[in-house]
Chain A
């Protein structure tokens, strides 16, 4: 009996030693110790043995099975190791060869700045309002406290569609549209496209502005300066401060022009700020009571401020773009830089 088992063990050993693949090994495993293997058939003899011999017999068969299992496990480990080594050899990689490119595109620099402006103001509780590019004179002039025959209307640089219909020259038109539809409190910005008949390195006939309007009880000039300073610092960095210069806009009183410390030289004077150390950023002021009256908002109860900034100008300063015309040429060598 022992001899028979030894025979099985020996033949298993020699066959397993010969194999070189995991697949073959699995087949051998079932042949030698599987349910239908010779060894298991041999085990069936146990029922014909006398009771007292059975335990010893069973143990002997199990020992053989265990021995074969060990041989298989050892062989499996050896095959896997050699396969692994083959993989290492065959998968040669030149680490310096270029990878597969998934070239991403780019948002236009105007869009980048536009979104940043929106996000800064949204984070401060502003809504984003929109208005039409093609406007009437009422929203572009009358409601903004610029009656007919007012000198501010004589601007020859407005594009007209019809007598009374024009391309808006400023986003302030949206102030009027929002106040027509909504009662205070109002806290909005409105980025959008404006049009003026001028075309050179620093002026484009189509350009982008962002307008802000805040109307509520107790809105003050200090709030205006605060919001503008917070915005400018978030946009250009903590070093940037601003100053207001008295100015005239028909729809704000007091009105101011906003200057910021030159983002290029931080006030020392350079070619971008033309040596002054300051850059003009836009206009601002407290909403003129006449504007409120025209829109039937109680100008005693409510106060408000408004300002307008040039988006293209912010983009040019932020990305140090020297010529306005580059923004609209859409050369991909330019676009992909952002």
Chain B
């Protein structure tokens, strides 16, 4: 629903800017979908005076006007029949904008025109396009039209939840705001003067379907003059998105927007039998409706009829056979309430949704019918004149009873934890026009106003209280603890899970170690791992220190398992290691140690078993590091003394060694009584986390253009490492070269001693275009040239 700020101010003296009002509405449960400034462009339209009018020499229908805009006299060509000298008019100068239409200097049949004299339709004020808009003589020349007519306004598009039909009118919104802002609500004064003639003398009402029409109020006014509505009324309707039609129809729409309860007016002249009958439609009954469609009805539909024909689909749309026209003099004013479910069914079946059906579908109150009837009658008498017939015809078989709901303040405290006293609670609810009916110990009885059918239970009242108190003003006590290190917690689990999926069994060893093991591993005296925490009262000499490496433990597990005949082993331990030198307590770090020995995979009848080699281990290391989102890792010859020389690597990340892997030196293996070939790797997990600030992978856009694959094969001296070769290739065009995959190494007597043949698969792709063969060929040539220059390759 659309509301207007200026209109709202009639009922409540708010002094908020649109942003503040939006916030108040939003946090009281009325969502603001959009805010529109109205009349901004009419600030550029100026009140002008036609100081001279002559006819256009080349066109009968056009006249040449000289318009005083307060500054200077401008020539304007005008085609309106009603323009005349000395009139005050709305002048849109060159450069101003009316809707999408920009006013430019134009030549009309040889005469120049510097702007436009506007009609009401062109200004968006009404549908009137019969001629230009004539302003009163005392309108100040040169002033902008928006300020003069008070046309600037702000409209708010509101999303009203289905439980609150009372908010489908300005008064309802004002009432909620008055409760929220503690400002008085100013309802329009209503008093009616009627003539001597009684309504019964002119009209009869029969309600044949009280189950579908719980109330029907009819009033009659004779002798009205149908014409355009006054400016203020048109302005109100335009501001909330309604099109002005004529004064009586506009008044029914105005009152609907004011109180949220729709009304309808019939031309008394068209009512056969001088009767209003509320009845179910007959089967296949037809009605020509105001939207120029003819609808075929069913018996479940409710119609308003006269003695011979339906004149409206009740609560949904009026008939064209009884609507208000410029000839209308006597009118019947309908204000009623209909069964909401039935309105909804008919409206859905006939696919008609009107402002009226939208409201009736939401279960309105019977009581408002009389209020809006009175209000509309009052405005019609004021604006359209005429005489009101005495009395009303009112079918109201089962009057709506006031509901009483009990509220326990203790319950409010329990549910909301707000510490407001009873008086505050009562004030909140009285602001919404609930009336304190009775008061007992911890029990407040409230009479629910008729327009709030949604409030039936204690919990509904509690909701109103918290809405007015402010959801976000409820004090909260709990805070996030932030004790847990989630990053390392879940990363440790991830590493374990990946290894398990690769076939590794987790082992858990005691933290005690034999100091002699450090000698067996050739750990240098200066190494950190020699700074051990010694136990004063150990279980024995072989348990005398806290372990600073997980290797001896996993070696002992390996030995035990081999002695049981288990020769293919994949083991890992993820646990703490301890270092202690000058610190009082120890430095404790999580390490991951992995051991592989025997064949890579379980025996399979189709293939020969494959022994584990260096690259099997490296593949696992690479996969684990990728899973931790570690990029740009380097591998250099290991400093550890327990690897077979040349077969061990240290893993370098940001210049720090975060782990190592390789083949255990057979001589060292023997000191642990291990005769098999053993591969191991270790990662210092805590060191990795301390170096890495990346928490989660971030999305990288996926290439839109298909990649191009090319192979490249050459012979190269062994002195060049793969890493350096790849670097040279990548550097040639890092944006286009997406991947360089080694897929073959070939060494034989046919190749020079000290050389090897390498074959790469190169992946090219671009984010912006499909790569042409010519482009790729040129790029390949450059790559080869670069390789020839830096490493003297020979192409194969």
Contacts and interface: CB of A to CB of B under 8 A. Distances in A.
Contact of B479 (A100, A102, A134, A185): A185
Interface string B102-137: 000000000000000000000000000000000000
Given A100-B606, A178-B483, 20 more contacts: A100-B604, A101-B604, A104-B502, A105-B504, A107-B496, A107-B506, A127-B483, A128-B489, A133-B576, A161-B534, A161-B580, A161-B586, A164-B584, A165-B584, A188-B483, A193-B576, A197-B539, A331-B564, A332-B566, A335-B507
Nearest to B578: A134
Contact of B509 (A111, A115, A161, A330): A330
Contacts of A201: none
Nearest to B478: A185
A110 B576 CA distance: 15
B754 interface: no
Interface in B562-600: 564, 566, 569-571, 576, 578, 580, 584-586, 588
Interface in B494-550: 496-497, 499-512, 533-539, 543, 546
Contacts of A115: 493
A105 B620 CA distance: 14
B536 A108 contact: no
B601 interface: yes
B539 A134 contact: no
A176 B183 CA distance: 55
Interface in B167-211: none
A179 to B, nearest CB: 11
B507 A165 contact: no
Interface string B479-497: 1011111000100010011
B557 interface: yes
B602 A332 contact: no
A161 B497 CA distance: 34
A205 B502 CA distance: 32
A106 B506 contact: yes
A187 interface: yes
B511 A193 contact: yes
B696 interface: no
B539 A335 contact: no
Contacts of B497: 107
Contact of B560 (A102, A127, A128, A331): A331
Given A136-B585, A161-B536, A332-B566, A98 B483 contact: no
Contacts of B511: 133, 167, 193, 195, 206
24 contacts: A100-B606, A103-B503, A105-B505, A106-B500, A107-B506, A130-B485, A132-B586, A134-B546, A134-B578, A134-B580, A159-B536, A160-B536, A161-B534, A161-B535, A167-B511, A185-B479, A205-B510, A329-B560, A330-B507, A330-B508, A330-B509, A331-B564, A332-B505, A335-B505
Enumerate the 3 nearest inter-chain pairs by beta-carbon distance, A residue then B residue, closest first: A330-B507, A134-B586, A105-B504
Contact of B539 (A133, A178, A199): A199
Contacts of B585: 132, 134-136, 165
A248 B736 CA distance: 72
B602 A101 contact: yes
B775 interface: no
Interface in A309-338: 327-333, 335-336
Contact of B537 (A100, A135, A197): A197
B101 interface: no
B733 interface: no
Interface string B688-730: 0000000000000000000000000000000000000000000
Interface in A156-178: 159-162, 164-165, 167, 178
B561 interface: yes
Contacts of A100: 604, 606
B615 interface: no
Contacts of A197: 537, 539
Contact of A161 (B510, B512, B533): B533
A4 B508 CA distance: 89
Contacts of A204: 510
Contact of A205 (B503, B512, B584, B601): B512
Contact of A127 (B481, B502, B543): B481
A32 B465 CA distance: 87
A197 B538 CA distance: 8
Contacts of B534: 161
B533 A330 contact: no
B553 to A, nearest CB: 8
A272 interface: no
A132 B569 CA distance: 32
A329 B563 CA distance: 13
B605 interface: yes
A98 B557 CA distance: 30
A104 B535 contact: no
Contacts of A128: 483-484, 489
B481 to A, nearest CB: 5
Interface residues of A, number: 52
B481 A331 contact: no
A328 B479 contact: no
A101 B512 CA distance: 37
Given A134-B533, A187-B481, A335 B586 contact: no
Nearest to A110: B508
A232 to B, nearest CB: 23
B602 A132 contact: no
A295 to B, nearest CB: 15
A328 B509 contact: yes
A186 interface: yes
Contact of B564 (A134, A182, A188, A333): A333
A240 interface: no
A28 interface: no
A206 B601 contact: no
Contacts of B605: 97-98
B506 A136 contact: no
A230 interface: no
B508 A108 contact: yes
Interface string A118-133: 0000000001111011
Contacts of A333: 564, 566
A105 B484 contact: no
A136 B534 CA distance: 15
A319 to B, nearest CB: 14
Given A135-B585, A165-B584, A335-B506, A105 B483 contact: no
A210 to B, nearest CB: 14
A101 B503 CA distance: 10
Contact of A186 (B481, B499, B584): B481
B584 to A, nearest CB: 6
Interface in B596-642: 601-602, 604-606
B570 A105 contact: yes
A159 B537 contact: yes
Contacts of B566: 332-333
Contacts of A162: 536
Contacts of A105: 499-506, 570
A115 B566 CA distance: 28
A182 B570 contact: no
Contacts of A178: 483
A136 B580 CA distance: 14
Interface string A132-160: 11111000000000000000000000011
In this complex, the member of A97, A186, A329 whose beta carbon has the largest number of chain B beta carbons within 10 angstroms is A329
Interface string B389-416: 0000000000000000000000000000
Contacts of A329: 560
A105 B507 CA distance: 11
B537 A160 contact: yes
A309 B509 CA distance: 20
A130 B686 CA distance: 14
Contacts of B588: 132-134
B579 to A, nearest CB: 10
A101 B568 CA distance: 14
B496 A129 contact: no
A332 B576 contact: no
